[in-house]
Structure 1
């Protein structure tokens, strides 16, 4: 988006005719994707089929300007040359088949305002639930700064579009977009934890993986020592059945530092802590099923006994490690009796 803005303001757009009229396409993709990203970080929930509705504004402009997108580069250059000297004329989108001139500029700002409001409400509500002194601090600081800059992209336009000349409005909006991109880029460079949202485990696992690639692997003696301690805590005491059992808990129980446990699990076992623990939980649940002593339990009860917080996480983990659902596994066990 910033590159297209530079092409427009510099007058060099006719060297890149294939970008003609793609600025709004990028904008109408950026707005819902930013909201969906914030929602996924804050809720931990993935995308659903219903989320395709957020592509509706993008599809509208795609269909509306499809004949323009299909023009040859020479034809696009002629259009660019007729408009590029006047940025206001260029951004009025006079080639729209369905809407009047200058429809898309206020429409884009209204759509951005809508996504900004629901994103800001979500951040505000979830910030109250988080310990902002902890791992999520950088992400919340960054997202608030980002939303503040994003507000400047559309709010002055909606507030003053009737009072200031179009060229000034054009320059202010696009300057803010460039600043938004530039500041976000700097933030990601200097605060890489932003990329991990609130997933502290993922960040630490990545850091250990990078570190382990640059340093020596664990010695055979250290591996044997860690395995003996894990055997006592996990195989004999079955600490993994505790709800919310974390790698910090495992480090306390085994008296092995967290970074060594991560190094052992990630580099030696080629897995991550979540899978390492969940695989043992699933094995234990299979033993419970095969014992026949817990036939009265529902999947929820079985999940709870196996250390999972809910049925969904239990079912997903079971499917991952056994390639079959827990219900199907229970039926297969009963069929052997």
Structure 2
């Protein structure tokens, strides 16, 4: 019969899986950091599931999952950190982040021979009188003494927890009332989430004391059960699923305002950027996006082949980073694709004229604001779904159908 404790652990497993699916399914495409949070909950579910198997005795039916829970543990710890770091800095992952995989790679190499021993041997091993100690102390390690991985897990969890706490403090230091107002619930949840992660290392004070025995509650904390319970708040406050409202901007470098194609350095233009906020609210991004679209349409800026984000920033007296963030958030695209969309729409309008249908693609591209045919073709297919040639053929065919020769 399954105990209340085992049912509780399985409940956490199901809850974590549901939350991860919700985060993947309902998060906006530009909120990629939510994928790291989804990975955290999904990875957290696995060691909890292994704990359920051990506690109920079902592990004997699935002996090969024994000792695999640590793999997920060594992955969900950095996954939580990457979520917090990406939210706080608005920086994507880099190749350096592959270093976060080193602990789990080390563990897999260490336990690689053990993973391939027969299931019957693993069952016999688990049924020995030393089961409780072996569950915690990882006595099968080839490289390290028994207990190394449990201590390493705590040290690793504490290190990442400190790093996350630093980023959390930086978020609270954002001097922008809109940020605190728009993200009040989310910020409180993030605080609770990080605080709950302290249970990834706090149980060490109990587990490592002399005469420690088999304590289900402590083992549950060791797995990270309290952190899993924070997922409940994602159901109570579904707005958390959509991540932070607005965006936190990267540090800005004035030299980035120079346009190598411009006649004069744009940075010398009268644009205020020194004291810009490190946070851009959703409301302000909508206003900037509308301002950009109105300016682009009114001035047909897209017909300028050398038109740059920095040039637009000067024209509407708005920091380039504000514009870029607003276009990414409101239009779900980057600046280049945003401008190219207007160029393609202009091109489509031109092609309604039979005279333009007989011109070369180079001429049409040039008339629409593109530098070359290749860029024009790629942008056209991305926006319309057809190549320019196929689109022109379709127009001619439709025209002949509507106006047959008699």
TM-score range, shorter chain: 0.5 to 0.7
CA–CA separation in structure 2 for the residues paired with 1:249 and 1:98: 54
Q: Which residue number corresponds to residue 309 of structure 1? A: 320
Paired residues in the alignment total: 261
Would the aligned equivalents of 1:38 and 1:119 in 2 still touch at CA under 8 Å? yes
- Hey, what does 1:322 align to over in structure 2? 340
For the Cα contact (< 8 Å) 2:296–2:302, is it kept in 1? no
Q: TM-score, normalised by structure 1?
A: 0.63
Alignment of 1:34-53 (within 5 A): 34-53=80-99
CA apart distance, 1:71: 3.2
SS of the residue aligned with 2:181?
coil
Kindly indicate whether residue 149 of structure 2 is the aligned counterpart of residue 139 of structure 1.
Answer: no
Counterpart of 2:200 in structure 1 is: 153
What residue in structure 2 maps to residue 217 of structure 1?
A: none
Aligned in 2, Cα 1:79/1:176: closer, same or farther, shift over 3 Å? closer
Match of 1:111 in 2: 156
1:124 counterpart = 2:169: yes
Distance in 2 (CA, whole Å) between partners of 1:280 and 1:152 is: 52
Distance (Å, rounded) in 2 between the aligned partners of 1:309 and 1:283: 18
What do you get for the CA RMSD once the two structures are aligned? 3.9
8 Å contact 1:303–1:309 — kept in the other structure?
yes
The question of whether the paired residues in 2 share the 8 Å contact of 1:139 and 1:198 is answered with yes
Runs of 5+ consecutive residues of structure 1 not aligned to the other structure: 202-243, 252-272
Report if the CA contact (8 A) 2:245-2:281 is conserved.
no
Give 3-state SS (helix, strand or coil) of 1:166's partner: coil
2:131 pairs with 1:86: yes
CA distance in 2, matches of 1:110, 1:175: 15
- Higher RCO (C-alpha 8 Å, min separation 6): 2
TM-score of the pair, normalised by structure 2:
0.54
Partners of 1:41 and 1:198 within 8 A in 2: yes
Task: Provide, for residues 56-102 of structure 1, a one-character-per-residue CA deviation record: whole Å limited to 9, x for no partner.
Answer: 1111111111122233433433333336x632222221221211111
Contact 1:282 1:318 in 2 (8 A): no
Is 1:99 the counterpart of 2:112 in the alignment? no
Structure 2 residue corresponding to 1:288, chosen from 301, 308, 322 = 301
Tell me the residue number matched to 1:68: 114
Secondary structure at the counterpart of residue 182 of structure 2: coil
Partners of 1:88 and 1:58 lie apart in 2 by: 22
Query: C-alpha deviations, 1:235-284, integer Å up to 9, x for none?
Result: xxxxxxxxx79668979xxxxxxxxxxxxxxxxxxxxx97x887777767
1:184, CA displacement in angstroms? 1.7
Query: Structure 1 residues 300 and 169 mapped into 2: Cα distance closer, same or farther (>3 Å)?
Result: farther
Residue 146 of structure 1 and its aligned partner are, at CA, apart by 2.1
Structure 2 unpaired stretches of 5+ = 1-46, 248-279, 328-332, 342-365, 374-406
